Amino acid sequence: MDIYKIASPEERLKGNPYVGRGIVIGKSADGKKAAVAYFIMGRSTNSRNRVFTEKDGDVFTEPFDLSKVVDPSLIIYRAIGSYENKLAVTNGDQTDTILEGLKAGKSFSEALASRVFEPDGPNFTPRISGLLTFGENDFTYEMSILKSIDAEGSDCARFTFAYPAKAGLGHFIHTYVTDGNPIPTFQGEPERIAIPDDIDVLTKELWANLDEANKISLYVRYVDLGTGKAENRLVNKNQ
């Protein structure tokens, strides 16, 4: 087993019916761009009734059909937001928790100390988060997962991972291993994943290999490390 293998999005996703929500962060192969991607999947009508929208650089999940909304508490939130030289991406309203914490002088992990996994037993969906910190022509990034420590949801296990940006290398964290009842939560370290130079290549590889029946939306952003200019792609199944 090659523990340092950098797998393609196809290798990470193809044939897996349900990885849930996922975050990818890394540096393009040419070393010139930071890449971040976030996608959502859903099995229920309520979960599938969503689209991504972008407003002033922030990304939100919103209902596609307001008449079908059952419970918005865990499906409607700011997925991507920024503060100063930092960009946060998460699978829930902890995006706001991170941004508020940063404004108060807290670190990424300190800000998330007030949060736990989602209260949706028996699945107890993990909260996954990422934070990019931009510097002079480069960046570093952190990833976090907050998940139930047992099948009863009695307490929260917290894991934070910190990475230097390396050309061509990204890390991929997702909420679930695959489909199930209850759904098995993500295990181990974020997975190593290849980051191409072209934003359209990454967008197509991710979207094409997410399960057709369960995928909902995908957002990808590349940030030029020299100019700070961002390029975005947004794909919604419902539009």
pLDDT in tens, 23-81: 999 999 999 999 999 999 999 887 888 999 999 999 999 999 877 777 777 788 999 99
Tokens of 45: 């009508």
**Phi and psi for 61 in degrees, rounded to 5?**
-95, 140
Residues in the chain, total: 239
Domain definitions of the chain by residue range:
9-236
> What pLDDT shows up at residue 75?
81
The C-alpha atoms of residue 49 and residue 169 are separated, in whole angstroms, by 33
- Reported as a single tens digit per residue, the pLDDT across 80-111 is 999 999 999 999 999 999 999 999 999 999 99
Q: Which CATH class name applies to 9-236?
A: alpha beta
Task: Give how far Cα 118 sits from Cα of 161, 216, 223, Å.
Answer: 20, 20, 30
- Reported as a single tens digit per residue, the pLDDT across 213-237 is 999 999 999 999 999 999 999 999 9
